[in-house]
Structure 1
Amino acid sequence: MLYFKTIPFPDHIQQAQVEEALRKASLKKTLSLDFKSSTMNIGTDKKFFGFEGKNALSFTRIRTSFEFLLPKLIVSVPKDQSATAYKIRLSAVPLAVCLFIFFGFYSIIVGLIRGIINVESMAVVLVLAILFFSLLALEIKITKSRVLKVIEKA
C-alpha cells in the first residue's frame, strides 16, 4: 500500500493503548475498507469503521452523506507492540483520482516540452488538483483530530 503520512503516537502512549482506544470507537467490518461505503447518517457513538488484517488494523472515519466529496483515508495501526506511529493512505477511488491528476500534469509537461500549449487543459487540471488536495488536507486534519480525541478519551 502507498502510505503517504506517518503520524507518531502522542507522548507516553503505547501501541496497545492506541489499538484498544480505536477498537472501542470502531464498528467492525469483515471486508477491506477500500471499496466499502463509510457513510452512516444515523447517530452512533462510534467514530470509525475497522478492519483487522494480518499485520495491521485499518480504520476509516465514519462520514455523513454531506461529506461525500472528501477523499476517504485509511488509517493503519501496526499490530507490532513496538510501533510508535500510525500511517495514513488514500483508499482506492481517491488514489485513482490522484493518479489521474498526476497523469494530467505529466501530459501538460510533455505538451510544453513539445511546444504545444493548451491553456484550457492546464486550467482544468490545475483547478482539479487544487480542489482535490484542499479537500485531502481538510480530511487529514479531521481524521487526525478524531484519532487524537479517541486516544485521549480512552
Structure 2
Amino acid sequence: MRLWSLHPSILDRAALVACWREGLLAQAVLAGSTRGYTRHPQLERFRAVDEPLDAIGHYLSGLRTEAAARGYSFDGSRVLRPDAAAPGIPVTSGQLGFELSHLRAKASLRDPEWLPRVPEVARPAPSFAERPGAIESWERGVVTS
C-alpha cells in the first residue's frame, strides 16, 4: 500500500490510479469494514488524527479532484466523507524527499515522458502539513533513526 504524501498533481497515471485504489482500501480499514491491512504502517498517520475517516475522506477527495482535472472518472460516491476539512496530517520534509525520489525512479521506468513533470522540490498533498524531519518511522524498507 502506498498512500503518497506528495501532491497528486505530480503523480504519474499509474501512481494516481493505484493511490486511489489503495486509498479506498485504507478507508475500508479505517471504517472497520475489512479485516485485511489493519496494521499497515501507512495508516498510523490517519489514525493519529481526531477523525480518521474525515482525514482519509479529504485525502481521497484530493485524488479525485486531480483525476477529474486529467479527464479520469473516479467514483466520488465511494468516498464516505468527501466534504471533510483538511486534517493537516504532519509529514516530514525527509519523507516527502524520499517519496519524490521513489516516484522519480518509478516514473523513469514506466512513464519516462512524465518525468519532466516531477519537480525538484516535493510538495505535500492537501491533506498534509510539512514539518522538518527525517523519513517517517512508518516507511517500510528504510532504516530510520
> Fold conserved (TM > 0.5)?
no
Q: Relative to total residues, which structure has the larger strand share, 1 or 2? A: 1
Larger radius of gyration: 1
Superposition TM-score, scaled by structure 2 size:
0.28
